[in-house]
Amino acid sequence: MSPGARLTPSQERDLVVATEGGDPEACHRLVEAFLPEISALARRFGYGSAVGRAELVQEGVAGLLFAARRYDTSLGTPFWGYASFWVRKSMQELVAELTGPVALSDRAVRALAAVRAARRDHLQAHGADPTTDELARATGLSRAQVEDLQATERVPRSLQEPAAGDGRSADTVGDGLPDPAAEQAYDVVLDAIEMRRVRDLTEQLSDRERAVIRAHFGLDEPAQTLTRIGGSLGVTAERVRQIEAGALAKLRAALARPAVLPGGGA
């Protein structure tokens, strides 16, 4: 089933715009609408790859949400036609990141061999896996390098490897079936993205400033007059106006902070 069969073009467009605007419900609905396409791409990608399907779906969801932030509705392109490139690219980059360094250089292969040897030695000596710091000390590599090399060794099996010789392609095996692990993965990505949204500017305000802005501008609540807001806060309307002006100035300053240059200039 194509995404178009589930959403009308205007529904799809409105969902994308609301997602880009920070509406969490729209974000969830958009991901749900395109999860079958993302899962199908992950299945094609995961076949023969060292990367697990749940991780690929996770990356695919991140790619979809990035596409929503970049998609120009005025161009008239169907969203999936635009987003599928970014979904695929996200998955490609995950695979490259996790498998790349081994394929890239002899030096990385030697470093990986050193990490494996250090782990084996540690296991023999202590009967337990070494920590990343212990591996870094033993090999002379940085902690980040050890972490990167360890990542190349993660070889989670994909949830559904096509059974050899069963006559079905990797594209069709399991199509339409629930994928609990992948669903769980997508929740993790959504939570992370919502948490790191930087555009919720009101987080930079005090509770009182935030209350004034929300009440006066009608953000997630009915708009109120300055007098009425003042009544509920126990201050005058003029004081509320001052609080609002101070809050706006604070947000303005946060958005236009110049670089402090060497020598103290800006």
Partner 1 sequence: MVSGSPALRHNALVYDSEDEYVGRAVPFLREGLEAGSGAVVAATRPGLAVLREALGGDAGAVTFVDVGAAYTRPARTLAAYHSVYADELGRHRSVRAVADVQFGPDPREWDLWTGYEAVFNRSFAHLPAWVLCTYAGAHLPDPVREGVWRTHPEVVSAGGWRCSDRFDDPDRVLRDVTAVPPALPALRSVPSDGGVEGVREHLARELADERVPAAAALDLLLAVTEVAANAVEHGGGIARVRAGRVDGRFVCEVVDHGTGFDDPGAGYLAPRAGVGTGLWIARQLTWQLDLFRAPEGFTVRLRL
Interface with partner 1, residue 104, by CB under 8 A? yes
Q: Please identify, among the stretches 35-43, 45-53, 174-182, 214-222, the one whose residues bind partner 1 according to the rule CB under 8 A.
A: 214-222
Interface with partner 1, residue 204, by CB under 8 A? no
Maximal C-alpha separation, the chain:
79
Q: How far is the CB of 157 from partner 1 (least distance, A)?
A: 22
Q: How far is the CB of 255 from partner 1 (least distance, A)?
A: 5
Interface with partner 1, residue 138, by CB under 8 A? no
H-state helical runs in 127-236: 132-139, 143-152, 180-195, 207-217, 226-233
Question: Contact 60/31 with Cβ under 8 angstroms?
Answer: no
Provide long-range contacts, Cβ within 8 A and 24+ apart, for 238-246.
240/212, 240/216, 243/208, 243/209, 243/212, 244/209, 244/212, 244/213, 244/216, 246/209
Closest to partner 1 by CB, 20 vs 37, is 20
What is the secondary structure of 110-137 as a DSSP string? HHHHHHHHHHHHHHHHHSSPPPHHHHHH
Query: Applying CB under 8 A, which of residues 2, 77, 169, 242 lies at the interface with partner 1?
Result: 77
Question: Contact 18/32 with Cβ under 8 angstroms?
Answer: no
Instruction: Give the SS3 label for residue 1.
Output: coil
Which pair of tokens denotes residue 240? 């509320």
Q: Please identify, among the stretches 38-46, 99-107, 115-123, 232-240, the one whose residues bind partner 1 according to the rule CB under 8 A.
A: 99-107
Interface with partner 1, residue 220, by CB under 8 A? yes
Interface with partner 1, residue 18, by CB under 8 A? yes
Cβ contacts of 54 within 8 Å, gap of 6 or more: 156, 159, 181, 182, 184, 185
Which pair of tokens denotes residue 160? 């559904």
Q: How far is the CB of 25 from partner 1 (least distance, A)?
A: 9
Query: Applying CB under 8 A, which of residues 44, 50, 82, 161 lies at the interface with partner 1?
Result: 82
Name the residues that contact partner 1, by CB under 8 A: 10, 13-14, 16-18, 20-23, 26, 62, 66, 69-70, 72-75, 77, 82, 85-86, 90, 93-94, 96-97, 100-101, 104-105, 107-108, 111, 142, 144-145, 148, 197, 199-202, 213-214, 216-220, 223, 241, 248, 251-252, 255-262, 265-266
